[in-house]
């Protein structure tokens, strides 16, 4: 009787261990079905968003690095695989007064989304539309300040940058255009 009881307890412990192990494994596998909850690389540092948000403590500081989904997303096929990818703005605050804007891509695959690098756009800019022009090239439009304007000034000079994925699935700059301040004066 004691042997049967001991065998039953051991069997229950083994089954419980298997159940716990399987549940832990399911939790640790990344959910790549939501592009707002995957890893992106910002300044060569991996940032894992959860529902479009990540917070990381800065060592020896009370400040935190906060990375957030901003939006203005564009759905397009960036890498020519026939699947819809997304391109959008994210922001990062590093404890100072700045809000740094980046463009990222969420590349769709059979296994879910894969995050790209973040291409730095600027500090405290005015984000505008992201457009597709074909062949995997996107145009990111935003307003920035003049070189001699203080950061307290509202962004008012239009800028467009053209980005494309390279072979390593990193967003790279192809070209950049800035509207001339005189053109802004003509519109007024």
**Residue 168 lies inside a defined structural domain of this protein:** yes
The per-residue pLDDT for 74 is: 97
Q: Are residues 137 and 109 in the same domain?
A: yes
Which whole number is the average pLDDT over 112-126? 95
Q: Are residues 12 and 97 in the same domain?
A: no
Portion of the chain with pLDDT greater than 90, in percent: 62
**Residue 187 lies inside a defined structural domain of this protein:** no
**Residue 186 lies inside a defined structural domain of this protein:** no
Contact 161, 176 (CB under 8 A): yes
CA-CA distance, 107 to 14, in Å (whole number)? 41
Count: domains in the chain: 2
Q: Are residues 129 and 162 in the same domain?
A: yes
Q: CA-CA distances (angstroms) from residue 20 to 24, 25, 163? A: 6, 9, 46
**Residue 127 lies inside a defined structural domain of this protein:** yes
Domain span holding position 127: 32-181
Q: Are residues 107 and 148 in the same domain?
A: yes
Strand partners, 90: 69, 102
DSSP 3-state assignment of 48? strand
Tell me the whole-structure pTM to 2 decimals. 0.78
How far from chain centre, in Å, is Cα 162?
Answer: 18
CA-CA distance, 83 to 74, in Å (whole number)? 13
**Residue 188 lies inside a defined structural domain of this protein:** no
* Residue with the larger pLDDT of the pair 127 and 175: 127
């Amino acid at each position: 009787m004691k042997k049967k009881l001991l065998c039953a307890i051991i069997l229950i412990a083994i089954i419980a261990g298997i159940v716990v192990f399987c549940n832990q494994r399911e939790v640790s596998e990344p959910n790549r079905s939501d592009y707002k909850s995957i890893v992106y690389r910002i300044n060569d540092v991996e940032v894992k968003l959860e529902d479009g948000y990540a917070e990381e403590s800065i060592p020896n500081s009370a400040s935190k690095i906060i990375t957030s989904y901003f939006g203005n997303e564009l759905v397009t096929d960036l890498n020519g695989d026939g699947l819809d990818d997304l391109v959008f703005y994210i922001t990062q605050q590093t404890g100072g007064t700045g809000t740094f804007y980046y463009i990222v891509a969420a590349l769709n695959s059979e296994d879910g989304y894969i995050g790209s690098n973040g291409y730095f756009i600027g500090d405290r800019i005015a984000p505008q539309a992201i457009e597709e022009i074909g062949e995997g090239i996107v145009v990111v439009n935003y307003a920035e300040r003049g070189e001699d304007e203080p950061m307290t000034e509202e962004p008012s000079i239009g800028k467009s940058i053209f980005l494309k994925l390279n072979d390593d699935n990193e967003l790279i700059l192809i070209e950049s255009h800035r509207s001339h301040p005189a053109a802004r004066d003509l519109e007024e």
